[in-house]
Amino acid sequence: MFKEFRDFILKGNMLDLAIGVIIGAAFGKVVTEFTGVILAIIAKATGNTEVKGIGIGGIALDPLLNSLISLVIVGFALFIVVKAYNTAKRLTEKPAPKEEVAATVPADVQLLSEIRDLLKNKG
C-alpha cells in the first residue's frame, strides 16, 4: 500500500501540482507584501500615515484597494507565464507539413491535349 501511495505521489502530474501549490503559496506572500508597499505609497501620496484612513463617506476603501492591487499583480504574473508558455510551445512545435497539391490534370483537359497532339502529328 505504501508503494502504491509513493508511486501515486511521484507521478508527474501530482508532483507538478504539489510544486504549483507551494510556489503559489510563496507567491501569495510576495503579492501581499508588495501590495502593502503599494498601499503605503498611496497612503503617503494622499497625506495619510496608513491606508486604513482612506475612504469615501465613511466607507473604508483599503480592503478593496488591497484586493484590486493583488488582482492586478497576480493577473499580470499569470499573463507573463502564459505568454512565455505559448511562445515556448510555438517554438518547439514542428510546423505541419504542407500538403503538396498533386499536379493532376482533369480527364477532359488531358483528353483534349491528346487530341491536340494527334492533330499536330497528323498534319
Q: Estimate to the nearest angstrom the gap between the alpha carbon of 59 and the chain centroid.
A: 37
Q: Encode pLDDT of 39-54 as tens digits.
A: 888 888 878 777 776 6
Angular region, 57: left φ>0, alpha ψ -120 to 50, beta rest: left
Q: Give percent of the chain with pLDDT exceeding 90.
A: 9
Q: Give how far Cα 79 sits from Cα of 50, 70, 85, 107, Å.
A: 31, 14, 10, 55
pLDDT value at 55 more than 80: no
This prediction has a pTM of 0.53
The whole-number pLDDT of residue 53 equals 64
